[in-house]
Structure 1
Amino acid sequence: MKKLTRKKSSWFSSGSPWIWLNGGAVTLCMIMVVGLLGLIAVRGFGHFWPADILQTSIVDRTGQTHIIMGEAVRDEVIPAAVARDGGYEIADDVELITRHLFKMGNRDISGRDFVWYLDIGMKPWEYPNDAVSIERREWGNFYGYPVAIKEGTALVSELTQADFWQQVDQRLDRALDLHAQIHRIEKVDIGRINKRMDDLRLERRRLELNGVTGAALAAADVNFSERRAALEAEYAIIKKTRDDILLQATRDKLLVRTADGKEAVIAFDHIVRVTRPNVMNPLQKLGQYVERVWEFLSDEPREANTEGGIFPAIFGTITMVIVMSIMVTPLGILAAIYLREYAKQGTLLKIIRISVYNLAGVPSIVYGVFGLGFFVYILGGNIDQLFYPESLPAPTFGTPGLFWASLTLALLTLPIVIVSTEEGLSRIPSTIRQGSLALGATKAETLWKVVVPLATPAMMTGLILAIARAAGEVAPLMLVGVVKLAPALPIDGNYPYLHLDQKIMHLGFHIYDVGFQSPNVEAARPLVYATSLTLILLIIALNITAIKIRNDLREKYRSASD
């Protein structure tokens, strides 16, 4: 007994229980993290897998028969009392019943998109081979049967003909190519002309503000008129080209029929994709799945952000984080170097350090309010008065935009960089400083050529933490530059190429908007998961990049010190 007690005592005193406890806690945390990411991935990116189209019929409580066609989203078991309260006749001995959520599409015809149906009176599900899912640019998906193809008013092909599906694919590819041409003309060519026309207006206004009058202003007006006429002539040519392409794009039409016999006409230029999932094999579905995921990551949003892609949000998030990093890194490092190496140690410095530590705990929305009031209205308003008076009363920098969002995040993450850099500087042994000074180096040379390079990994650690904090922020960004929809990227081919005054989209705000402000909750649900996983992976990628740079710097200066 004494031996057993002694063994237990020695086992506890060895610290093994705490090692097992910590190991178990870490394992549990990893399981929870991996499980959460897996749940998000399945519910988010599982949405892009081409689901089979079912057809069935159901007799409602009034005795009418309804034909249902669409995708089965999910089902759930509910108490039978709920259905009885809704007017359904259910036997008293039945306690639970199943109901199914169907994505029926055809919102422009039936006015409904997602509908719950009880399995009471529901016929067995069928999967017709000719059923199609048509993804449209407006009104969501269409589920039904194709009937024929029209070119103008002429009937080209019908479903019974052998080349019908080949004709569908060819004409859809043609329509998609023409739509891409129209999009490029409107975004690039017409956008460039509009920018130059606006520059002419501002240049004319600038002359007036500078006091130019009389003959000089008249001569300038002649020059402006000639340049404007040249731009209008160029615009007329581009517009005619666009109109011609648009006329070609609207030539082909697809006649379709719903499951309950209603007919409709869909122009091919309104179609994104035509899918027959009931006859596709797994390899074909995998190919379309990859295509849909890539479209989600590289395309612009549609239908109140519930369809299409999230590329503007991805690009806006990366751009904002990069601009923030460019601003916060030198400011945070210089502040830390001054506090650690130059500032006189005393009560005032202790108060400053305490203030820096407290700033790290200030709620982010407070930074957003400060950024809106000081950066946007005061600083941006004065910049407009000094450098862009010709644009007033329309603001240039006196309105929320990319620069103010990045500067607000830089201010929010500044304490993190300062603290990390100070800790890195404090870890440099004093013997290294003394050795450098003993060899004849000045204090500045010792600092910038010896101490700072050795503290670079700590500085990168601060930047990593700042990126992780900034990339996931939402509350302050809603006030200082992030909006619901901004498909135009802040970088384009017009000078100055990077438009810091432009509003941007952000993945975090996109998740909030789609999840809580969407008019179509069921359509938005999988996109919330997919966008959340994209944001997590983006943050991980940014952190891994920064960690790789930090490790390379650490190895570089470690080998140099050896």
Structure 2
Amino acid sequence: MKGWGRRRRLPRGEGPWPWLAAGSVALSLLMVVILLAVLAGRGLAHFWPADIALVTLDDGQRFAGRLVREERLSPDRAASSERLYHTGNRELEGDVWRWVATERIATPDVPAELVVVERSQWSDFLGRVVGLQEAGRDLAIADSELWPTVQQRLARTLRLRKDRDVLRETLVDPLTNRLANRRRQDDRDAERMAALASELAEANAQVLALQEAMARDSLVLESVDGHRLIQPLDAVYEIRRPNAMSVVEKSMVWGQEVWRFLSEGPRAANTAGGVWPAIFGTVLMVLLMSVVVTPFGVLAAVYLNEIAPQGRVTKLVRIAVRNLAGVPSIVYGVFGLGVFVYGIGGTLDEWFFSDTLPSPTFGTGGLLWASLTLALLTLPVVIVATEEGLARIPDHQREGALALGATRAETLRRVVLPMAVPAMLTGVILAIARAAGEVAPLMLVGVAKLAPQVPVDGTFPFLHLERKFMHLGYHIFDVGFFSGDVEAALPLVYATALLLVLVILVLNLTAIFLRHHVKARHGALQR
């Protein structure tokens, strides 16, 4: 046991510890890369236009479907593996998924004429287009001209649908909101309300005319087992023949589908369509949270480190702030619901929106209360990071400024705070990383399952903080656990999770770039 009390310190670079640290970092990076690869592979592959197989079984039955995956069964099962096909045609088959044992598949084929019709109801249709109707009458079209004609009619319908949606967003919805918000009942106001009602009626007539024009054309579809149905084009979003596409054409379609996923709103109970409202809501909420939490966190840290007497009370405050960082997020959600929504929001409704009660304006969950709740949740993170940055500034920087005749306020404003800006931005980065992925408190203070309209529009005050909003994290939770079709929702869960990671990455990289720029400008190396 000689020399037990005096252990020799290993020189830098010797021993197993540097290798263990490097291995831990490498393993962490590898796990992150694997996670991103899984999310990208399973999420982005969903948008690839897969071929449609015409499957003939050993008993003569036939169906068309897109192969989703193949699973091997246990050795004690008669069949060695089964394949899952997406067959669509819910109104004909009753279900859109079908498991088939590989031993039963006799002759799979990929005919070029099979189409995928993406519809607003009854899921996708997989089969053939055998005719076209206009105003209920069959059109005499040659087989060689049928597909180009269908594409032209669909393009016309899509243009009309876009015009209708733009008319609703820019004219009908604002007029409806203005009529709903009128409160004064004098003669002058009554005349104005009558004028608004007339404008709204005219706009609704235009929308109805566009809707009737959209309903002019219909497709005659036929499944591979011979069942026919009439499909109005106004309920169709896209028609494709993936079996007849080249790799280049499929790549272009894949890019278009990814863009639609990023730029459109959700459909079919969030199992189809895009996530643009969720992207916008997530980014806007994080930005509002950052604007609120940064000044309060910085001021609190400056007071604790630079102004407050360093006594027992200040130490207790620091301990309390650090303990607040470990409080479960759902507790902040309950606090936000009770204080912000019911307390402050209810009071605002009584003072300024009494005419609309009992329908609440601010006394219900919304973007403002969600941002304030997350600001409160991330406030300890910003305080701790900023205070640590202030503590790392050498005292001779302060003493030098005071020796040159600067006041304490000038020293704080011109010397200390510029050198602490990187630490402040570090706190903001950590706050963004935590707030962007929080879901539990948002469920209580403003997030919605479906809010197709973003809280920014052309109606005054343009930014509507009282509205509910969509969030990528809650969208993942809702689609993954409350979707009626798990197989259809699973790829969207992967794609949305990848998108949430990328959104957080972009926000963090922006803050990191600003921090690096400030470091270089002020010449302060903060480690």
Interval containing the TM-score (normalised by the shorter chain)? over 0.9
* TM norm structure 2: 0.95
From 175, 181, 201, the equivalent of 1:236 is 201
Q: Is the 8 A contact 1:150 1:157 kept in 2?
A: no
Q: How does 1:14-163 map to 2 (within 5 A)?
A: 15-59=14-58, 65-79=60-74, 81=76, 90=78, 97-158=80-141, 160-163=142-145
| 1:477 and 2:442 are equivalent in the alignment | yes
What is the CA-CA distance between 1:57 and the residue it aligns to? 2.4
Deviations 1:129-155 (A, max 9, x none): 110011112222110010111111232
Deviations 1:54-90 (A, max 9, x none): 011225xxxx6432211010011113655xxxxxxx5
2:165 corresponds in structure 1 to: 183
Return the alpha-carbon distance in structure 2 between the equivalents of residues 461 and 559 of structure 1.
14
Q: Is the 8 A contact 1:43 1:530 kept in 2?
A: yes
Return the alpha-carbon distance in structure 1 between the equivalents of residues 140 and 300 of structure 2.
73
Return the alpha-carbon distance in structure 1 between the equivalents of residues 10 and 374 of structure 2.
50
| 1:198 and 2:197 are equivalent in the alignment | no
What is the CA-CA distance between 1:411 and the residue it aligns to? 0.4
Structure 1 spans left out of the alignment, 5+ residues = 1-8, 83-89, 91-95, 205-219
Q: CA RMSD in A?
A: 1.8
> Equivalent residue of 2:50, what SS?
coil
1:174 corresponds in structure 2 to: 156
Return the alpha-carbon distance in structure 1 between the equivalents of residues 13 and 279 of structure 2.
51
2:355 corresponds in structure 1 to: 390
1:85 corresponds in structure 2 to: none
Q: Which moved more, 1:373-382 or 1:467-476?
A: 373-382
| 1:276 and 2:241 are equivalent in the alignment | yes
From 267, 283, 286, the equivalent of 2:251 is 286
> Equivalent residue of 1:379, what SS?
helix
2:188 corresponds in structure 1 to: 223
Structure 2 spans left out of the alignment, 5+ residues = 1-7
Q: Is the 8 A contact 2:277 2:453 kept in 1?
A: yes
> Equivalent residue of 1:188, what SS?
helix
Q: Is the 8 A contact 1:37 1:533 kept in 2?
A: yes
1:496 corresponds in structure 2 to: 461
What is the CA-CA distance between 1:290 and the residue it aligns to? 0.2
What is the CA-CA distance between 1:15 and the residue it aligns to? 1.4
> Equivalent residue of 2:186, what SS?
helix
Change beyond 3 A, Cα 1:57–1:560: closer
Return the alpha-carbon distance in structure 1 between the equivalents of residues 356 and 309 of structure 2.
47
What is the CA-CA distance between 1:234 and the residue it aligns to? 0.8
> Equivalent residue of 1:440, what SS?
coil
What is the number of residues matched between the two proteins?
519
Q: Is the 8 A contact 1:135 1:142 kept in 2?
A: yes
Return the alpha-carbon distance in structure 1 between the equivalents of residues 60 and 335 of structure 2.
60
Q: How does 1:455-474 map to 2 (within 5 A)?
A: 455-474=420-439
> Equivalent residue of 1:469, what SS?
helix
Deviations 1:210-233 (A, max 9, x none): xxxxxxxxxx52112211110111
Return the alpha-carbon distance in structure 2 between the equivalents of residues 47 and 257 of structure 1.
25
1:543 corresponds in structure 2 to: 508
Q: Letter of the aligned partner of 1:380 in structure 2?
A: G
Return the alpha-carbon distance in structure 2 between the equivalents of residues 525 and 475 of structure 1.
21
Q: Is the 8 A contact 1:139 1:303 kept in 2?
A: no
> Equivalent residue of 1:79, what SS?
coil
| 1:403 and 2:368 are equivalent in the alignment | yes
* TM norm structure 1: 0.90
Q: How does 1:225-374 map to 2 (within 5 A)?
A: 225-374=190-339
What is the CA-CA distance between 1:406 and the residue it aligns to? 0.5
Q: Is the 8 A contact 1:157 1:167 kept in 2?
A: no
Q: Which moved more, 1:115-124 or 1:297-306?
A: 115-124
What is the CA-CA distance between 1:465 and the residue it aligns to? 0.4
Deviations 1:429-469 (A, max 9, x none): 11111121222221111111211111001000000000000
Return the alpha-carbon distance in structure 1 between the equivalents of residues 474 and 190 of structure 2.
44
Q: Is the 8 A contact 1:416 1:466 kept in 2?
A: yes
Q: Is the 8 A contact 1:332 1:418 kept in 2?
A: yes
Deviations 1:280-304 (A, max 9, x none): 0000000000000000010000000
Q: Letter of the aligned partner of 2:178 in structure 1?
A: R
Q: Letter of the aligned partner of 2:375 in structure 1?
A: A
2:5 corresponds in structure 1 to: none
Q: Letter of the aligned partner of 2:107 in structure 1?
A: P
Q: Is the 8 A contact 2:333 2:441 kept in 1?
A: yes
Shift >4 Å, 4+ stretches: 9-14
Return the alpha-carbon distance in structure 1 between the equivalents of residues 525 and 480 of structure 2.
51
| 1:447 and 2:442 are equivalent in the alignment | no
Return the alpha-carbon distance in structure 2 between the equivalents of residues 124 and 162 of structure 1.
27
Q: Is the 8 A contact 1:185 1:242 kept in 2?
A: yes
Q: Letter of the aligned partner of 2:148 in structure 1?
A: Q
> Equivalent residue of 1:127, what SS?
coil
> Equivalent residue of 2:129, what SS?
strand
Q: Is the 8 A contact 2:55 2:65 kept in 1?
A: no
Structure ID, larger Rg: 1
Q: Letter of the aligned partner of 1:445 in structure 2?
A: E
Return the alpha-carbon distance in structure 2 between the equivalents of residues 435 and 386 of structure 1.
53
Q: Letter of the aligned partner of 2:117 in structure 1?
A: I
Return the alpha-carbon distance in structure 2 between the equivalents of residues 363 and 502 of structure 1.
26
| 1:165 and 2:147 are equivalent in the alignment | yes
Q: Which moved more, 1:186-195 or 1:42-51?
A: 186-195
Return the alpha-carbon distance in structure 2 between the equivalents of residues 501 and 139 of structure 1.
35
Return the alpha-carbon distance in structure 2 between the equivalents of residues 310 and 386 of structure 1.
36
1:209 corresponds in structure 2 to: none
